[in-house]
Amino acid sequence: MQLSERAKQLIPKARIVSFATWQEMHPSEAISLFQQADDERYYLTDADLAALQGLSFSDEGLKLARLLRDRASDIVTEAREEVLAHFPQIIQPGGELYPPFRAEACWRDFWHFLRCVTYGIAGGNSFFTSEEGLKNMNLLYQELKVPLPAMILGLESLKVASLKYSIPQQTAIASACFDHLIEKLKTFQP
């Protein structure tokens, strides 16, 4: 796949997460754990979660973040199947996620959406997005002609699949985190 120069410039700027607003509610060592995970694009590790527990983060949020991390493949698969059920032609020749590398990029975005949502769940804060990063993601999606309705459906499906693993004490923060990101994606220009 040959990316345009504009796409290459936008990719590193298209970051979903910002912990800038978390400074007032969480200690700097916690912010550093979250920031490192996001910078290196991984889910919080067991060691990260244990450190956060030691910093008085909600046990329920940390448990759900761990569970969603451990079930990420299943959750992303379920969301992908939902998108393909609603948009069966999307991966066929002429479809918006064809050739296959385009579909793989979409499913990878689902994995990253879920990763970012788990940060909000673990941190107990649904306002985890970066306005600047999402602005650049919007521009990148426009440049790459990403099918926004499919991405929004995918994110909504990630929420449904994830909430199957939550217990009542976890549902409010999980729903708030997903809803926040879904609303942000709905503001993207088609």
pLDDT at res. 56: 84
Residue 145: which region, alpha, beta or left (left: phi > 0; alpha: psi -120 to 50)?
left
Q: What is the pLDDT of residue 2?
A: 83
Angle at 161 between CA 46 and CA 81, to 5 degrees: 115
Determine the pLDDT at residue 136: 97
Closest CA to 115 of 185, 39, 31, 166: 39
Task: Give me the pLDDT at residue 1, please.
Answer: 67
Cβ-Cβ contacts under 8 Å for 166 (sequence gap 6 or more): 64, 174
CATH class of 5-186: mainly alpha
Residue 93 backbone zone (phi > 0: left; psi -120 to 50: alpha; other: beta): beta
- pLDDT score of 24: 87
CB-based contacts of 48-51 (< 8 A; 24+ apart in sequence)? 49/122
> Is 92 exposed, middle or buried (CB count within 10 Å of its CB: 0-12, 13-18, 19+)?
exposed
Enter the tokens of residue 23. Answer: 């400074």
Give the pLDDT means over successive 10-residue stretches in the chain (190 positions). 91 96 92 97 97 93 97 98 97 96 96 98 96 97 96 98 94 97 92
